[in-house]
């Protein structure tokens, strides 16, 4: 698959989508990316102060991926983030305090302190499914969400993310195949950040563009520059549009770089320094700042205003998180099982009669448009398919061969049928004896010979005992 070569660091971002984004929306892209980065920098400090109780996974250098792709969704759409998609949560409306308190396991967190990392969501308002740590498992889950939304008439699109390493899991392939076979409106954003923990992409798979895997499922694959937020937004918007029009799913690969180790405990010493230097020059926020300036979308005053707003919001939310209490001990025994604590009801956006009998009744037969031949059916000759006459048992002869009533001399084969007929089986007069593939049967020559040998051995043994 061909895709644009990443532009060098001195080349401006792709502005071809600016007509579809207002000035306010482009400034929002900057706000969310910078909020993402500043929030994570503060959490790194909290982690070093032992105030973060769980793992911390940086998305430094990947902010354009989460923000640009989530920005292409509508409020009704669903998403399921992974560990490096804090930016998507911010776009969906989660305040920074939810991120702070969740990682600090505070009672005021979305999970009331029962989780110390990113495992939280909001099924009611924001339509966010909690991350699943088993990589790839979110893809079949979100395929199901997409299918359910279509069944309910909600006209939604579902989106989730996966890393380059996670795209080699069985769940990834099974989920993509399910989504493809069901034509589910699902966008899978494949974050190719060059490293699966400490393994480079080139040692994982034999292809450069992981989007080529889409061909195996018969769906569309796309590649975008993951450090160009406008390119990510444009590609994601196109993918979402394809899904909403009923032509999904789409596998969108974004080329980016994980600028830190797998987690805070990983110094990433396995990454060549030259590689870090190359991608540092492609920093997504710095590139977008340059684009906003060169296209006169902001001025230094506007930038300072947004940065000050981010600083104030983070100050307030971090203070709230640090002053929040830890969960009480008795909370540990609550919420383990659902005992009527909440109800889950389907949100129908279509008349239920449309999916109930008799309106939903269909004839219980398959309609096959392609017979699976190497050439499409229209290009094949259409001969009359029949069993060759010489394969039919002769009158008065049993159908079985090899039985005690079998004729001593097999019937002479009839002349071969004209070319209009197709022999579906070989000529039994010249074909070797049949073999039963699983186990032995009476038509197996070797089996008959073994039986005869055993019978002869028993006969000789009896003769020896009577002598």
In this predicted model, what pLDDT tens digit does every residue of 168-212 receive, in sequence order? 999 999 999 999 999 999 999 999 999 999 999 999 899 999 999
Pick from 2-16, 296-310, 378-392, 429-443: least confident: 2-16
CA 56, chain centre distance (Å):
24
CATH of the domain at 30: 3.40.50.970
pLDDT at 2 > cutoff 50 = no
Asked if the structure places residue 417 within a domain, the reply is no
pLDDT at 463 > cutoff 70 = yes
Nearest Cα to Cα of residue 220 among 191, 250, 175: 250
| pTM, 2 dp | 0.76
* pLDDT tens digits, one per residue of 287-346: 999 999 999 999 999 999 999 999 999 999 999 999 999 999 999 998 888 877 778 889
Asked if the structure places residue 361 within a domain, the reply is no
Residue 214, burial from CB neighbour count under 10 angstroms (0-12, 13-18, 19+): buried
> Once rounded to an integer, what is the mean pLDDT over residues 42-46?
96
At residue 467, the pLDDT reads: 61
pLDDT exceeding 90 applies to what percent of the chain? 64
Pick from 67-76, 308-317, 325-334, 419-428: least confident: 419-428
Asked if the structure places residue 95 within a domain, the reply is yes
Pick from 4-8, 101-105, 141-145, 415-419: least confident: 4-8
Asked if the structure places residue 38 within a domain, the reply is yes
More confident residue, 324 or 449: 324
Asked if the structure places residue 380 within a domain, the reply is no
Query: Residue 447 to residues 134, 184, 402: CA-CA distances in angstroms?
Result: 51, 53, 13
At residue 30, the pLDDT reads: 98
pLDDT at 428 > cutoff 70 = no
Asked if the structure places residue 81 within a domain, the reply is yes
At residue 354, the pLDDT reads: 92
**Contacts for 166-174: CB closer than 8 Å, 24+ residues apart:** 166/82, 166/135, 166/136, 166/196, 167/136, 167/210, 167/213, 168/196, 168/204, 168/205, 169/135, 169/136, 170/136, 171/134, 171/135, 171/136, 171/137, 171/139, 171/140, 172/135, 172/136, 172/139, 174/139, 174/140
Give the chain's mean pLDDT: 84
Structure tokens at 118: 């990113």
Asked if the structure places residue 239 within a domain, the reply is yes
Q: What is the tally of structural domains in the chain?
A: 1
- Residue 163 structural domain: 18-350
> Once rounded to an integer, what is the mean pLDDT over residues 410-438?
46
At residue 391, the pLDDT reads: 42
Bridge partners of 128, per DSSP, are 79, 122
More confident residue, 289 or 11: 289
CA 343, chain centre distance (Å):
29
Angle between helices 229-244 and 23-48 (to 10 degrees): 110
pLDDT-derived band at 427, boundaries 50, 70, 90: very low
* pLDDT tens digits, one per residue of 238-247: 999 999 999 9
CA–CA gap between residue 179 and residue 175 (Å, rounded): 6
> Once rounded to an integer, what is the mean pLDDT over residues 383-405?
45
More confident residue, 185 or 467: 185
Pick from 136-140, 159-163, 459-463: least confident: 459-463
Query: Residue 49 to residues 19, 53, 195, 383: CA-CA distances in angstroms?
Result: 45, 10, 28, 79
Asked if the structure places residue 432 within a domain, the reply is no
Q: Which residue has the tokens 């401006």?
A: 12
* CB of 388 closer than 8 Å to CB of 421: yes
Nearest Cα to Cα of residue 39 among 86, 94, 4, 102: 86
At residue 379, the pLDDT reads: 57
Pick from 41-55, 100-114, 347-361, 405-419: least confident: 405-419
């Amino acid at each position: 698959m061909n895709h644009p070569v990443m532009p060098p660091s001195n080349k401006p971002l792709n502005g071809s989508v600016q007509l579809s984004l207002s000035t306010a929306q482009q400034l929002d892209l900057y706000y969310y990316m910078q909020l993402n980065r500043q929030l994570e920098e503060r959490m790194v400090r909290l982690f070093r102060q032992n105030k973060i109780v769980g793992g911390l996974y940086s998305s430094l250098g990947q902010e354009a991926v989460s923000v640009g792709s989530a920005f292409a969704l509508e409020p009704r759409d669903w998403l399921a983030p992974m560990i490096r998609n804090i930016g998507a949560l911010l776009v969906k409306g989660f305040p920074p305090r939810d991120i702070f308190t969740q990682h600090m396991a505070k009672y005021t967190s979305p999970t009331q302190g029962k989780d110390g990392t990113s495992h939280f969501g909001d099924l009611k308002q924001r339509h966010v499914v909690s991350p699943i740590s088993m990589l790839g498992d979110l893809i079949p889950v979100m395929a199901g969400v997409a299918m359910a939304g279509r069944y309910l008439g909600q006209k939604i699109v579902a989106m989730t993310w996966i890393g380059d390493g996670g795209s080699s899991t069985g769940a990834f392939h099974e989920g993509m195949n399910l989504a493809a076979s069901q034509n589910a409106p699902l966008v899978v954003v494949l974050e190719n950040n060059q490293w699966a923990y400490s393994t480079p992409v080139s040692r994982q798979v034999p292809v450069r563009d992981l989007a080529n895997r889409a061909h195996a499922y018969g769906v569309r694959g796309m590649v975008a520059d993951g450090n160009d937020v406008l390119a990510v937004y444009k590609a994601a918007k196109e993918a979402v549009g394809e899904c909403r029009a009923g032509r999904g799913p789409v596998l969108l690969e974004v080329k980016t770089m994980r600028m830190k180790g797998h987690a805070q405990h990983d110094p990433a010493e396995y990454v060549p320094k030259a590689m870090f230097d190359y991608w540092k020059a492609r920093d997504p926020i710095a590139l977008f700042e340059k684009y906003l300036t060169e296209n006169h979308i902001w001025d230094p005053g506007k930038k300072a205003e947004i940065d000050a707003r981010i600083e104030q919001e983070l100050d307030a939310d971090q203070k709230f998180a640090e002053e929040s209490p830890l969960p009480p001990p008795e909370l540990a025994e609550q919420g383990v099982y659902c005992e009527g604590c909440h109800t889950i009801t389907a949100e129908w956006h279509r008349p239920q009669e449309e999916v109930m009998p008799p309106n939903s009744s269909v004839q219980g037969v398959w309609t096959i448009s392609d017979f699976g031949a190497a050439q499409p059916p229209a290009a094949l000759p259409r001969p009359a398919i029949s069993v060759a006459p010489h394969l039919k048992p002769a009158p008065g002869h049993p159908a079985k061969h090899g039985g005690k009533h079998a004729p001593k001399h097999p019937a002479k084969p009839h002349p071969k049928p004209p070319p209009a007929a197709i022999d579906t089986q070989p000529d039994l007069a010249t074909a070797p004896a049949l073999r039963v593939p699983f186990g032995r049967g009476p038509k197996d020559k070797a089996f008959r010979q073994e039986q005869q040998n055993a019978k002869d051995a028993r006969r000789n043994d009896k003769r020896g005992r009577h002598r």
